[in-house]
Amino acid sequence: MGGQNPEYAATPVIPAAALTLAEMLVQGWALRTQCKKCGTVLKVHLPSAIAVLGAEAIPWGRTPPCQVVSDHRFPCEGRLTYLARTKPHTAWKPLHKVADRELAILRDNRIARVRHSRQGADD
Over residues 34-69, the pLDDT tens digits come to: 999 999 999 999 999 999 999 999 999 999 999 998
Residue 115 carries which side chain, given as an amino acid letter? R
Assess whether pLDDT exceeds 90 at residue 116: no
31 vs 45: CA distance, rounded Å: 8
How many CB atoms neighbour CB 105 within 10 A?
A: 14
Average pLDDT over residues 82-92: 93
